[in-house]
Structure 1
Amino acid sequence: MSRRLVLLGAAGLAVAVAVAGATYASAAQSTARAPQTAAAPATFAHPGVLVSQAQLDFVRGKVQAGEQPWKAANDQMMGSKYASLTRTPKPRATVECGSYSNPNNGCTDEREDAIAAYTLSLAWFITRDSRYATKAIAIMDAWSATIKEHTNSNAPLQTGWAGSSWPRAAEIIRYTYSSWPGQARFATMLRTVYLPKVIGGSSSNGNWELSMMEAAIGISVFLDDRASWDKAMAKFRARVPAYIYLATDGAYPKGIGSVDTKSEIVNYWQGQGTFENGLAQETCRDFTHTGYGISAISHIAETTRIQGQDVYPEIADRLRYALGFHSRYQLGEAVPSWLCGGRLNLGLGPVTEVAFNALHNRMGIAMTNTQRLTEQSRPAGSNNLFVAWETLTHANNPA
């Protein structure tokens, strides 16, 4: 049952109950079975950022066997510009990114080089062609030899986006390829240029802090940095309930930081005063930015699972309701007048595979709308920011 809560302003609070979508177990039951873990793993698993050794082995086997959807997904990846062996990296000492990347001085170059390094590392693992590993290393070495800082208003978000992709690539190369002489310098880059910019979080829209925490978590794994892991996870655990609403939260969503009164929360949630399970803080802004937030949540959860500190049970209800809620409208369901004034800006992006595989395939949760959207969108490509090739890496992956 999906429940909707409406804020009635001066008239007080009233609760309206509406039936929509599939019937789910209660959020309270999910939370009760998932005690929170406070401390980082005693020992980190490697490779262990978004994809594990076992997941990579599964993918390689499926691609080599020519099975679908992995073959089509691999063909898509290998045919992309990110897998090119002739790519020339474009590092800068200072990457300057203003609002909406205006100015864009190295912003696109950095993000796309980071995605390319990850793409090439996957290509190396699947093909065992050392040219792909060598090219991934060349890109990572070029940036670690050059970059010193990120500046302007979008610097934290830019650092989060690029900083989410770099550790994925670095983990695969470091732990599956024979030699990377420059890995220590790359680690220094992550520690001194990226981690300080993201670890403190953000008071901006939630997709910022979630992407920044994804970067911080991935960097923490690569650096075996337990203190940074703990700090990032604390911010993640505070942000997720402030980003995705459940009726069990009460009449209105949970606050974050200084945003804690009813009027402040409604304003922060883009003026939305009616709340239903799965509504996100940026739903009424647009689905694209909401997709960024949902994706970062799933990426962090996947990394925690690989590291033996699985937070999926802890956040399962929020994540599944968010996916189901947004999938319904992305698939074309009519928008009710109470939701964002009856108008939505769609464009969720290729962001459902990781969480769908975890929640539906591993945990057995029925997710009809999410399944339909996920399967009809395959193979999921890249959003050219920090999401890439998730049908290949996570579709029906049991590892």
Structure 2
Amino acid sequence: MSRRGLLKTAGGLTAALALGAGSAPTAADAAPAAFTHPGMLHNWGDINRAKVRVAAGNDPWLSGWNRLTANAHAQSTWTPRPQATVVRGGTGENYGLLYNDIAAAYQNALRWQVTGSEAHGRCAANILNSWSSTLTTVTGNADRFLAAGIYGWQLANAAELVRDHVAFDLAAFQEMMVSVFYPLNNQFLTGHNDACITNYWANWDLCTIASVMAIGILTEDAAKYDQAVTYFKSGAGNGSMAHAVPYLHTDADGYALGQYQESGRDQGHTVMGMGQLGAICEMAWNQGDDLYSYDSRRFMKAAQYVAKYNLGNDVPFTTYTWGSGQNCAQQSHTVVSASSRGQVRPVWAMLHYHYNRRLGLDDKYIAQMCFSVAPEGGGGDYGSTSGGYDQLGFGTLMYAK
């Protein structure tokens, strides 16, 4: 039974009785009968724990909180700069305006949730309202699909935190997500920009899956949520688990490792992938689906592999070959890439506190990476370029247990 099936005991009992002895529901993996809110990167338990621990002055939560309040984006005086058209890729790029405003909306929303600061709650609502009343188009070259994916799931997560704030126009925001972001998300997952199915790196699929899932949760659209979960499990592109983690290994100490699809490319994008996968799994977890454990915890094996290598250790590597372009021209990686090795991104706390603290598993390399980069910051703490904003961050504050 899925985690959600265990949680929904009343509904499960009713369904079992209706089906009769020896029968089982055929939609065991369908979207929840009732969506949980807040139910994306953070649930009420996360928020309440942060409230209590920060108020008590306990570490590591207090250190995470101080990292948040020191960020320029987390100030209630932030002024949004909404655009009718966001461009990523090609000429006229302006997408930096969007990712900076997303970071500000999310960080102000966190401050409102953790301390009840009305100024921060209204700031977050104002940022999101300004975009939902202005934005009509996300465009550019193929990178428009990255923008629709990354900023889609991040916007939805910021909105989820203030969905009940009196100043937030939830309906208008939902409409923007469905009319501006979802069509691009769906177009990419179903057509991959008319390229060979393996042409695009795993992260392109993953951020898109995350956006579809987040929009599904925000709008309580079961079909969209199911689309994301199904693609994660069995999609044709590089974002489905078997393709995102194509090879499994075991190191000399007996730890199971999973070679990530982008490991031969560079480590910046590889660590980014851990963040995108983590976002998908955490959102699903908060809706009752345990994707963290899917396919014998294939994701955990990948995170162990990526963490071990970026801590400076050797890892095994199997030659990875894929088809590129429109004609599926063959390309190969024969070694793990040392490019941007050791790059710090705020993705590890979420993974450590799930696998080690929720499940009690030995996550040696994930744990070492988690504590080597703690306390985690967020957008604005890791450089000014887009890579520093690929994750919303602040995992030490929100996930420490």
TM-score range, shorter chain: 0.7 to 0.9
With 377-386 and 107-116 compared, the bigger mean Cα shift is at: 377-386
Correspondence for 2:364:
368
Correspondence for 1:344:
338
CA distance in 1, matches of 2:391, 2:288: 24
* Residues 337, 235 of structure 1: alpha-carbon distance in 2 compared, 3 angstrom cutoff: closer
| Identical columns (%) | 26
Correspondence for 2:160:
171
Query: In the alignment, does 2:318 pair up with 1:330?
Result: no
How do 1:189-208 residues align onto structure 2 when only pairs under 5 Å count? 189-200=176-187, 201=189, 202=192, 203=197, 204-208=200-204
Query: Structure 1, residues 104-135: CA drift from partner, whole Å, max 9, x if none?
Result: 62211111211211111100011211000100
Correspondence for 1:289:
269
CA distance in 2, matches of 1:302, 1:235: 16
Aligned counterpart in structure 2 of residue 128 of structure 1, from 116, 124, 135: 116
The answer to whether the 8 A contact 2:129-2:168 is kept is no
Give 1:245 shift: 2.9
Query: Structure 1, residues 224-251: CA drift from partner, whole Å, max 9, x if none?
Result: 0001111121111121211013449xxx
Structure 2, unaligned runs of 5 or more: 1-25, 235-239, 250-255, 320-333, 379-387
Correspondence for 2:220:
224
Give 1:337 shift: 8.6
The answer to whether the 8 A contact 1:246-1:318 is kept is no
* Residues 372, 151 of structure 1: alpha-carbon distance in 2 compared, 3 angstrom cutoff: same
Give 1:145 shift: 0.9
Matching residue's letter, 1:229 = Y
Give 1:341 shift: 3.5
The answer to whether the 8 A contact 2:293-2:299 is kept is no
TM-score when scaled to structure 1? 0.78
Give 1:81 shift: 1.6
Aligned counterpart in structure 1 of residue 87 of structure 2, from 87, 90, 96: 96
Give 1:321 shift: 1.4
Query: Highest relative contact order (Cα 8 Å, sep 6+), 1 or 2?
Result: 1
Give 1:286 shift: 0.9
Structure 1, unaligned runs of 5 or more: 1-34, 249-275
The answer to whether the 8 A contact 2:148-2:185 is kept is yes
Matching residue's letter, 2:219 = L
Query: Structure 1, residues 332-358: CA drift from partner, whole Å, max 9, x if none?
Result: 124679785465121252211112211
Give 1:313 shift: 2.2
* Residues 337, 324 of structure 1: alpha-carbon distance in 2 compared, 3 angstrom cutoff: closer
The answer to whether the 8 A contact 1:199-1:232 is kept is no
Matching residue's letter, 2:182 = L
The answer to whether the 8 A contact 2:266-2:337 is kept is no
Aligned counterpart in structure 2 of residue 300 of structure 1, from 242, 255, 280: 280
Query: In the alignment, does 2:372 pair up with 1:392?
Result: no
Matching residue's letter, 2:114 = I
CA distance in 2, matches of 1:246, 1:348: 24
CA distance in 2, matches of 1:343, 1:244: 16
* Residues 366, 344 of structure 1: alpha-carbon distance in 2 compared, 3 angstrom cutoff: same
Correspondence for 2:138:
150
The answer to whether the 8 A contact 2:344-2:373 is kept is no
* Residues 193, 53 of structure 1: alpha-carbon distance in 2 compared, 3 angstrom cutoff: same
* Residues 307, 343 of structure 1: alpha-carbon distance in 2 compared, 3 angstrom cutoff: closer
Any idea what SS the aligned residue of 2:259 has?
coil
TM-score when scaled to structure 2? 0.78
Query: Structure 1, residues 20-79: CA drift from partner, whole Å, max 9, x if none?
Result: xxxxxxxxxxxxxxx994311111000111100111111111111111111111111111
With 340-349 and 224-233 compared, the bigger mean Cα shift is at: 340-349
With 104-113 and 206-215 compared, the bigger mean Cα shift is at: 104-113
* Residues 81, 278 of structure 1: alpha-carbon distance in 2 compared, 3 angstrom cutoff: same
Aligned counterpart in structure 2 of residue 50 of structure 1, from 14, 23, 41: 41
Query: In the alignment, does 2:321 pair up with 1:321?
Result: no
Query: Structure 1, residues 316-345: CA drift from partner, whole Å, max 9, x if none?
Result: 531221111111121112467978546512
Any idea what SS the aligned residue of 1:278 has?
strand
Correspondence for 1:12:
none
* Residues 109, 315 of structure 1: alpha-carbon distance in 2 compared, 3 angstrom cutoff: farther
Correspondence for 2:374:
378
CA distance in 2, matches of 1:155, 1:296: 17
* Residues 371, 36 of structure 1: alpha-carbon distance in 2 compared, 3 angstrom cutoff: farther
Aligned counterpart in structure 2 of residue 112 of structure 1, from 100, 114, 117: 100
Matching residue's letter, 1:318 = R
Matching residue's letter, 2:357 = N
